[in-house]
Amino acid sequence: MVVSRIYTVRDHKVMLDRDLAELYGVPTKALKQAVRRNAERFPDDFMFEMSKEELEHWRSQIVTSNPGDRMGLRYPPYCFTEHGVLMLSSVLSSAAAIAVNIQIIRAFAKIRELLANHKDLLLALEKLRGTVGHNSRDIKVIFKLLKRMQEEERDRALLARIPKKQPAIGFKRGK
């Protein structure tokens, strides 16, 4: 549930104010008001407001059935990075907010872990691609030799079935 609400904006994994408000069980207006009252706790790398252009681009990336649907957004939303979500727990200090924050931080950690694993896998594949490209000529030669050996073995098996000396056909004459 939480992972599906994490988006990429400005090359950052973020959660939108409306999604966080829903998870915390508070109105979006109340969440934004709490953030504005504590603006010094939310530097640009913790939270930023999506520009109108980014909002339009983001909406076009999310498929909706109604082209006129603004997805419940009248104003560009606040986008909270992982650190911003952590800071929200100090601003919204209810028991529900703390429990939700723990889930969200775990989701961000899981995403970071998956990205790290995929990065390692991509690097390994890149190394393998270079090796395979270099060795593909050798692999083709090996397959040709194996095919030739297989054909020679088949030919030997066919020759083994043919009798060495065939008996004469017809009647034998006495001496």
Name the residue ranges covered by the structural domains of the chain.
Answer: 3-119
54 vs 33: CA distance, rounded Å: 22
Average per-residue pLDDT for the chain: 77
Q: By C-alpha distance, which of 82, 72, 88 is closest to 7?
A: 82
Residue 41 exposure: Cα atoms within 13 Å on the Cβ side: 16
Q: Which helix (H) or strand (E) holds 113?
A: helix 95-161
87 vs 98: CA distance, rounded Å: 11
Q: What is the pLDDT of residues 53-94, one digit of tens each?
A: 888 877 766 645 444 444 556 778 999 998 898 888 778 877
Residue 92 class from Cβ within 10 Å (0-12 exposed, 13-18 middle, 19+ buried)? buried
82 vs 76: CA distance, rounded Å: 19
Q: How confident is the model at residue 162 (pLDDT cuts 50, 70, 90)?
A: low
Q: What is the pLDDT of residues 96-140, one digit of tens each?
A: 777 777 888 888 888 778 777 776 666 776 676 666 655 666 667
User: Given the structure tokens 């603004």, which residue do they identify?
Assistant: 70
Alpha helices in 38-94 (DSSP H): 52-61, 82-91
